[in-house]
Structure 1
Amino acid sequence: MKQVKTNAMRLLDEAGIEYTAHSYTHKHNDPVDGISVAEKMGQPLEQVYKTLVTQTHDNEYVVFMLPVAEELDLKKCARAAGTKSLEMIHVKDIHKITGYIRGGCSPLGMKKDYRTFIDENVILQDRIYFSGGKIGVQIEMDPEDLIRFRHIETADLIKEK
C-alpha cells in the first residue's frame, strides 16, 4: 500500500532532503505520547523526539524538540529563546496555532515557521525520529539535515532529574 505524503514529507521532498517515513498502527483510544510511539516503533527513547509549542510573555510562539522521555525546563527554554518567560500552549490551541493535532505535531509544515530549538544532545544521534505530521507517521532523518533545513538552534532544554 502506498503511503500518503504529509506536508512535512512534501517539504523534505521539495528540498531534496533524504528521510525515511515510518508508520505504526494507532487505534482510536491508543495513547499518543512519545514514549508509547517509541515503543510501538521499537526505537530507543533518546532517538525519538517530541515537538512542543510554547508561548512567550509577549505572545511569540516558540517550538522546542527533545527526546520523548525528557521534560522541558521552561527557564532554560526562555533563556535559549532570549525571552523573560514562556509557557506551554494549551492542548486545545495546538491545531489553531500549528495546523496539527496532539500526537501529530511535526516541526515541519506548521502554519508558520516558528523559531525552533532542539536539545543540544541531538548531536549524539546519527538519526532521529519525529512526527511526520499525522498520528501513525514518523519521519527518520539525520538531525543535522533537519537543523540546517529548518534553521533550528541547539540549546540545553532538558529539566534536570
Structure 2
Amino acid sequence: MAKHKEEKTNVMRILDQKKIPYTARFYEEGEGPEGTREYGVHVAQALGQDPARGFKTLVARGASKGIYVFEVPVAETLDLKKAARAVGEKSIQLLHVSEINAVTGYIRGGCSPVGMKKAYPTVFHETVTDYDTVYISAGKIGAQVELAPGPVLELLGAETADLIVKEG
C-alpha cells in the first residue's frame, strides 16, 4: 500500500500552487466505522493526532438552496441551528450522501474544503485558530494534510464561528 503515499491529491497540488506549506499524512483506508464520529477519532488516533485538531468537512444546503461547507472537529457534532445562523440562513440540512460527489467533486469520507467544484461559503469551528496546525482531508480517503489554519482560512475566504453541539 506504500504507492498511494507518493500520489499527490488535487488538494496538495492546489496548496503547492498557492505556496501554502503542508505535511501529507496517510492512513490505511477502511479502518474504523467510516462516516461516523468514531471514524474521525480513529483516524486521528491512528496518525497520533489530537482529535481536536482534526477537522471533518460537512456540506449543507440552506433554506435559500445555497450550498455551505462547515469544518468541525472530528469528535464533535455540527449544530444545525448555529450553522444556519453563521451563514445567515433560516435553516440548513446536511446534503444527502448521494449528492456529495455531484456538488463537491469529492466522495464521502474524502471531502475537503479545498478544491471543490465551486467555491462555497465555508465556516470553520472557532477552535481552528487555537492550534499552530490542524488536519483536514487531502481530498481522498486515506490522506490528510496538516497545515497552519491561517493560510487555509485565507485561501477559502472562510469565517469562524461556534458550530458545535454543546454536550450536557
Measure the CA separation in 2 of the matches of 1:58 and 1:77.
14
What is the TM-score normalised by the length of structure 2?
A: 0.91
Q: Could you give the per-residue CA deviations for residues 49-106 of structure 1, whole angstroms, max 9, x where no partner exists?
A: 1000000011111000010000111111111101111010101111111111111000
What's 2:10 paired with? 7
Query: Which residue identity is paired with 1:149?
Result: L
| Superposition misfits of 4+ residues, deviation over 4 angstroms | none
Q: How many residues were matched structurally?
A: 160
What are structure 2's unaligned runs of at least 5 residues? none
Query: Which residue identity is paired with 2:150?
Result: E
Measure the CA separation in 2 of the matches of 1:84 and 1:119.
19
User: How far 1:9 moved relative to its partner?
Assistant: 0.7
Query: Which residue identity is paired with 1:25?
Result: E
| 1:113-128 correspondence runs (5 A) | 113-128=119-134
What is the TM-score normalised by the length of structure 1?
A: 0.95
- Percent identity over paired residues: 48
Measure the CA separation in 2 of the matches of 1:140 and 1:159.
25
Measure the CA separation in 2 of the matches of 1:55 and 1:125.
29
Measure the CA separation in 2 of the matches of 1:13 and 1:148.
15
Secondary structure class of the residue paired with 1:122: helix
Kindly indicate whether residue 42 of structure 2 is the aligned counterpart of residue 36 of structure 1.
Answer: yes
- Give me the CA root mean square deviation: 1.3
Measure the CA separation in 2 of the matches of 1:31 and 1:160.
23
| 1:84-95 correspondence runs (5 A) | 84-95=90-101
Measure the CA separation in 1 of the matches of 2:12 and 2:129.
22
Measure the CA separation in 2 of the matches of 1:91 and 1:36.
21
